[in-house]
Chain A
Amino acid sequence: MSIDRREFLKFAGASTLLGLGGITAVQELLKTSAGASHVMVDEKALSAKRWAMVIDISKFKTEADYKNVVQACHSIHNVPDIGNPKDEVKWIWTDTYEHTFPGQGNEYMPEGLKHKPFLLLCNHCEQPPCVRVCPTKATFKRKDGIVMMDQHRCIGCRFCMAACPFGARSFNWRDPRPFIKEQNPEYPTRTMGVVEKCTFCFERLAKGLQPACVEKSNGGLIFGDLSDPNSEVRKVLSTHYSIRRKPEIGTQPSVYYIIGGSENA
């Protein structure tokens, strides 16, 4: 068969268009050769329509209560301890009431509460601004409500950091590996130049485990399905007054705080 120049150009143009759409001939061949294979979710995996967390701050009494929770998360996820606030990476951390709930405090509130540390982490918002702005879908919302990061795809534009109203996102300003004291060989580290944050321990949920922080919180953190009226989170929320961070901007955080009454004073 011989083709003239015109036909060749047509063919080349058409294959380029197909290639841009991701349907190259090579890919098609590859797909068919392991045809019988498929993927599925682990039977043990925990599932939900909308994962949520309740932080019962009255259960956190000593410094160790907080430390255990933060340590549990940061050690299994290979979160580096860079030691300066400029390059800092953190998934779950503590701050004061005033910083956690800006504008919601007053000078006459209980002294104990004023200086009590609050736990902060990604809120896994129902309307996440970070997902809205990401130009590559590197951050996206899963069906179960988890706001997930795909570090393979992140180009490091940091639009999500500008968009997050809760300061939940950290950027790898430099190679994090030298700052990880003990690597957990079962979980990856991150590379320089990508954004990271709490993922509600998606990798543990897939194996049927609760998030690491919840496990180490002695009941201070309650995790469950917000859409299930019989779940523990719903029970706790229906019997206690709870607040969320910056509710006025409409992101609908999935992390709730129970401040507790006089026992905090």
Chain B
Amino acid sequence: MLEKALTGSKKYWVWIFFLLALIGIGVINYLRQFSYGLGITGMSRDVSWGFYISQFTFLVGVAASAVMLVIPYYLHDFKKFGKIVILGEFLAVASVSMCMLFIFVDMGQPMRIMNVILHPTPNSILFWDAIVLNGYLFLNIIVGWTTLGADRKGVPPSAWVKPLIYLSIPWAISIHTVTAFLYAGLPGRHFWLTAVMAARFLASAFASGPSLLIILCLIVRKVSKFDPGKEPIQALGKIVTYAMFANVFLLGLEFFTAFYSNIPGHMHPFHYLYAGLEGHAKLVPLMWASSILAVVALILLINPNMRKNENILAFTCASVFISLWIDKGFGLVIGGFVPNPFEGVTEYWPTLPEALISLAVWCIGFLILTILYKIAVTVREETSSWPELH
């Protein structure tokens, strides 16, 4: 089926080469980082994880969200998702690939990455994260590819795929739970030391992933003859509504615990992120932007009439995605490092090479996504004239 990605309109190729160009710029910057060291980034002794790891954290959520299509379709027989399940699975493949690349570019000694396998260490959450991420990548490639291949031939997928599909459900939950445990199990970081971390991660994942998926569905409808359909998009909209509400609620719980308990260590990161601490307030505008976007999105989501208008829904989904991208893809990681273990404030901001490398990783993700979607959409275009399969 891969050959379907090799033919396309002029626009398709312009987009591909645009991505390749940005990837090229990122590769050049990565080579600079490789020879100079991670000092080329904005990270420091006090803020030892930055943009790379926070992007990884955010994207694990996007990857996990494929399960929001798989559960209704395969467990509840919600047939309307039949046509777009593949889009969720392929989005997961692209997202997990980005996750792995973000971890890779964050390594101080990338050549030694196989040490994680050569010296397996089950007490390290990072070891488990490597396992679940790889497993999830393979599950989605296999499931997506075989079901699409079967669809193309007009036959039901082979029986052996079913167990893998069911396995991918708990697996999706596990990737984001394990990623939350990277943070939630560290004794000295008050901001992360919270039992609702994994729950918050899942809620934000099930809001941000399906939001992106809605936007992608609308784009697919525009650029191809394949129409994902109004109803699946509306169903996704409802999922985003519930998940976003849960996410904001869980964030509220964090605020309550920190401020009602009045424990300084718990309040400091919130002060830093939302009001500034000891005169340091680099992240305040971003965090407020995230909060405002979240509130606007919630208002629009809760109102069914607004949600049913696809133009407004697209705007809402963009708001959800950006809001969560700021909150989880930046504030959450940096907030854990501020203040540092000595109650001092060291701020962080990504440097230009760091931003360009990150952009390149996103572009690689979108390249994978484009190619996979091109294949899926072409197959769908071919089979759309056929009678319903399922």
Contact = CB atoms under 8 A, between A and B. Distances in A.
Interface in B309-352: 336-337, 340-344, 346
B187 interface: yes
Contacts of B182: 159
A86 B187 contact: no
Given A162-B48, A246-B188, A95 B121 contact: no
Interface in A149-178: 153-159, 161-167, 170-175
A189 interface: no
B115 A175 contact: no
B112 interface: yes
Given A87-B45, A129-B187, A163-B188, A102 B123 contact: no
Given A86-B44, A193-B109, A167 B126 contact: no
A161 B333 CA distance: 13
A191 B119 CA distance: 21
A123 B203 CA distance: 38
A132 to B, nearest CB: 6
Q: Could you say which interface size class chain A belongs to?
A: 35 or more
Contacts of A251: 187
B264 interface: yes
B121 A99 contact: no
B132 to A, nearest CB: 13
B186 A136 contact: no
The A interface is mostly helix, strand or loop, or mixed, namely loop
Contacts of A133: 124-126, 185-186
B37 interface: yes
Nearest to B117: A20
Contact of B45 (A85, A103, A163, A165): A85
Interface residues of B, number: 46
Question: Which of the listed residues B188, B189, B340 has the most CB atoms from chain A within 10 Å of its own CB?
Answer: B188
Contact of B341 (A89, A155, A166, A192): A166
B130 interface: yes
Interface in A83-103: 85-89, 95, 98-100, 102-103
Nearest 7 interchain pairs by C-beta: A156-B108, A165-B188, A193-B108, A173-B39, A167-B341, A174-B39, A99-B342
Contacts of B187: 129, 163, 165, 249-251
The binding surface of chain B is classed by DSSP as: loop
Contacts of A103: 264-265, 343
A134 interface: yes
A135 interface: yes
A158 B108 contact: yes
Given A165-B187, A193-B108, A157 B343 contact: no
B325 to A, nearest CB: 21
B207 to A, nearest CB: 26
B116 interface: yes
A147 interface: no
Interface in A115-162: 129, 132-138, 153-159, 161-162
B107 A157 contact: yes
A222 interface: no
